[in-house]
Structure 1
Amino acid sequence: MAGCAGLAMFAAAGAAEARTQIRIVGSSTVYPFTTAVAEQFKRSYPQFSAPIVESTGTGGGIKLFCSGVGEQYPDFVNASRRIKASEVKACQANGVTGIIEIQIGIDGLTIAQARSGKFASLSELDVYKALAATPFGKKNTYKTWNQVNPKLPNIKIEVLGPPPTSGTRDAFNDLYMLKGCETNPSMVALKKSDENKHKTICTKVREDGPYVEAGENDNLIVQKLAANPNTLGIFGYSYLEENADKIKDVPINGVVANYETIASYKYPASRPLYIYGKAQHMKAVRGMREFLAEYTKDTTWGKGGYLTRRGLVASPDAVRQKNRQVASAATPLNPADVK
């Protein structure tokens, strides 16, 4: 009822009186792409105010997005992972029942080092053993990388990574920690018998120093990596490409991170990126439909579009076409399809 009342007041107030700008929160990874779209949107549609885009992290952004319907709540949320079923339920509980899901492109979740860094390659198992609090159920005592794997450099383990509220942290768990953990058959068996214990053993990172939560400012991680050749950092491919003069990737299983390997999903840590819109705000907030139209143009997110020049990897043609149709019709996702 609260959501319905909020929507009624929002619509009744009129766009000019309620809120004159689109408001977007969420992922720091998607932030530079959505900011670029917001700037082009203002040029393409001068009759609308420039959208406000905030970098809050995926988890924090979805929480704000799902808090209700009305002018005080965001219209869109950027996400570096797919929305969870529990988050959809939280949205519904607060009256947010029309969630428009758009996959905007693909990203590679990279592990980066300074240009002078000494890492030739890492595996998911290496990363898991170095950073898990209890790798395979035993307390982590590794201090240097060569203790993890004799083929790795004799360097103190120090990795700058995202906080728990970040969608990048969720993606890191899925793409690195779980993959490394489940190289052990007993961990695969544990998932069937005790899912909570499996999750703790496989995804809980150590808190004794080697893993440093670096917040949502990926540019700050870049600066720290450039200043310390022995430190590694975790962030999206666009930041790696943008700062190629300062940092380089650590290949994963010998596969380097570049446009081609990420687009083909050959890069082991490739992941889709999203933006979610609030269908119930479409009539009340001027420009939302036009903003989605700008985002889903081939000159924006297609191969050679202006977002690819900023490091976004374009989704395959069929995926872009499907998502363009969803955006054009403002079709809400089916909650039953979300895990």
Structure 2
Amino acid sequence: MKLSKIALSAMLVLGTCSIANARDQIRIVGSSTVYPFSSYVAEELGVTTKFKTPVVESTGSGGGFKLFCQGEDLNTPDISNASRPMKEKEFALCNENGVKEIIGAMIGYDGIAFAQSSDNEDLDLTKKQLFLAVAKEIPVNGKLVANPYTKWSQIDSSLPDREIIIYGPPTSSGTRDAFEELVMQAASKNDPVYKAAQKEGKFKGYKVIRNDGVYVPSGENDNLIVQKLEKNKVAFGIFGYSFLAENQDKIKASKIEGALPTPKTIGDGSYPISRSLYFYVKKSHMEKIPAIKAYMDLFMSDKMIGNEGVLKTIGLIPMSDELRQNVQKSVLSYTLLTSEMVKTKKVIK
């Protein structure tokens, strides 16, 4: 009996050690847009400190939050990257599952590029034209009808007589969330036909994208969209500016409302499809996995996200000095996210 108890105790100790050893490495999930920046910081942490290089997975912002909010135990991710703020329903899910201490960090800005093969002629589109290309239902003669447009010239005679095909992010993507809000909702929310349909109970939403093969959900790997644009010169792709910056020898952006996505236009907001980028941390995991604090310190450093930071060279658009300093102070003092901050889409008080 004594030997059995000793053997059982030894097995428990070994099991505990195995779990600890399995989680001495940070696990990060979330946005494909934030993935290149997060991966760079992860690699730098592995090279310059005693800690192992974190594992970074590209699951999309929505998919990342689902995993992140599953619970507090160490089988769940420590950090979730996002190309949009955490939603109220995601914050509620986290709380329901015991994830009640979350630190939110803004890292900078990104623009959503609407790009095509660099062999094509330049194009300037309005948000309304983009909306009419991708919406499932559009207003025609005072009624909402299934989107009939198959060519850009059908939307506006000034546009190319070219088939509409768009490779874009799936529903789990923060880039898609941002595109739906910044383009589709912005272009249609004041339309009288939509307002009338809403009153009659026939309204399906400003942000419902067509599913007839014109818009092609293309997964969370934005590099695959770039590759598709090289092969299909008729098509357009929707993805973050950083992927455009890395592939300017192959693809080019269309102007939106007369503006091209550049570090300047994204940073000052004159490019109309710009958004903020984030990561979110489970505070309870910080005590169990010391590398998380080191990762946060490194990511929040001027070396990474400053005006001359290394992440700028791979496509991140820096914040203003004042905002960056306020964010750094908030994150590195481990300020916890509140329901009010989530509601107002902020990560600092």
Counterpart among 182, 185, 198 of residue 189 in structure 2: 182
Aligned to 2:174: 167
SS in structure 2 of the partner of residue 33 of structure 1: helix
Does the 8 A contact of 1:134 with 1:201 survive in 2? no
> Which of the two has higher C-alpha Rg?
2
Please list, as runs of the form range in 1=range in 2, the aligned pairs for 1:164-313 lying within 5 A after superposition.
Answer: 164-182=171-189, 184-187=191-194, 193=199, 198=203, 200-313=204-317
317-326 or 34-43: which moved more?
A: 317-326
Deviation by residue 1:215-262 (Cα, 9 ceiling, x = unmatched): 111101101112222100000000000000000000001101100000
The answer as to 2:322 corresponding to 1:318 is yes
Query: For 2:65, which of 62, 65, 73 is the aligned residue?
Result: 62
Larger displacement relative to structure 2 (102-111 or 129-138) = 129-138
CA distance in structure 2 between the aligned counterparts of 1:302 and 1:188, rounded to whole angstroms = 44
CA distance in 1, matches of 2:79, 2:23: 14
How many pairs align? Answer: 325
Structure 1: distance between partners of 2:189 and 2:130: 13
Residue 321 of structure 1: how far off its partner (Å): 1.0
Instruction: Please tell me whether the aligned partners of residues 132 and 201 of structure 1 are also in contact (alpha carbons under 8 angstroms).
Output: no
Residue 337 of structure 2 corresponds to which residue in structure 1?
Answer: 333
Who is 2:116 aligned against?
113
**Partner-residue secondary structure (3-state), 2:256:** coil
**Cross-structure match for 2:12:** none
- Residue-by-residue CA offset, 1:153-182 (whole Å, 9 max, x unaligned): 000100000101111110110111112213
Q: Which runs of 5+ in 2 are unaligned?
A: 1-15, 344-349
CA distance in 2, matches of 1:176, 1:249: 16
Change (3 A) 1:265 1:277: same
Distance 1:80 1:240, change over 3 A: same
Counterpart amino acid of 2:71? G
Candidates 157, 161, 173, aligned match of 2:164: 157
Structure 1: stretches of 5+ with no match in the other structure: 1-12
TM (normalized to structure 1)?
0.91
Deviation at 1:185, TM superposition (A): 4.1
Q: 1:134 aligns with which of 111, 132, 137?
A: 137
Query: What SS is found at the alignment partner of 1:135?
Result: strand
Task: Name the TM-score, length of structure 2 as normaliser.
Answer: 0.89
Q: Which residue of 1 aligns with 2:104?
A: 101
> Against the structure 1 CA distance between its residues 30 and 197, is the aligned structure 2 distance closer, same or farther, given a 3 Å change threshold?
farther
Q: Distance in 2 between matches of 1:184 and 1:275?
A: 35
The equivalent of 1:122 in structure 2 is 125
Cα deviation 1:75-109 (Å, max 9, x = unaligned) = 00000110000000000000000111001110001
Q: Distance in 1 between matches of 2:134 and 2:282?
A: 37
1:119 CA drift (Å): 4.4
For the residues of structure 1 that align with 2:62 and 2:255, how far apart are their CA atoms? 28
- Higher alpha-carbon deviation: 182-191 or 201-210: 182-191
Cα distance change, pair 197–71 in 1 and its aligned pair in 2 (3 A): farther
One-letter identity of the residue aligned with 1:33: F
- Post-superposition, which runs of at least 4 consecutive aligned residues in structure 1 deviate over 6 A? none
2:179 is paired with a residue of what secondary structure? Answer: helix
CA deviation string 1:105-159 (max 9, x = no partner): 1000110011012342111100111111101322111110000111100001000
CA offset at residue 201 of structure 1?
3.8
Q: 1:197 to 1:165 in 2, by over 3 A?
A: farther
The structural deviation recorded for 1:197 is 5.7
SS state of the match for residue 239, structure 1?
Answer: helix
Aligned ranges 1:72-83 → 2 under 5 Å:
72-83=75-86
What amino acid maps onto 1:125 in structure 2?
A: K
Other-structure match for 1:148: 155
Per-residue deviation, 1:204 = 0.9
Q: Percent identity?
A: 42
Please tell me the root mean square deviation across aligned C-alpha atoms, in Å: 1.9
Secondary structure of the 2:206 match is helix
Amino acid of the residue matched to residue 53 of structure 2? Answer: A
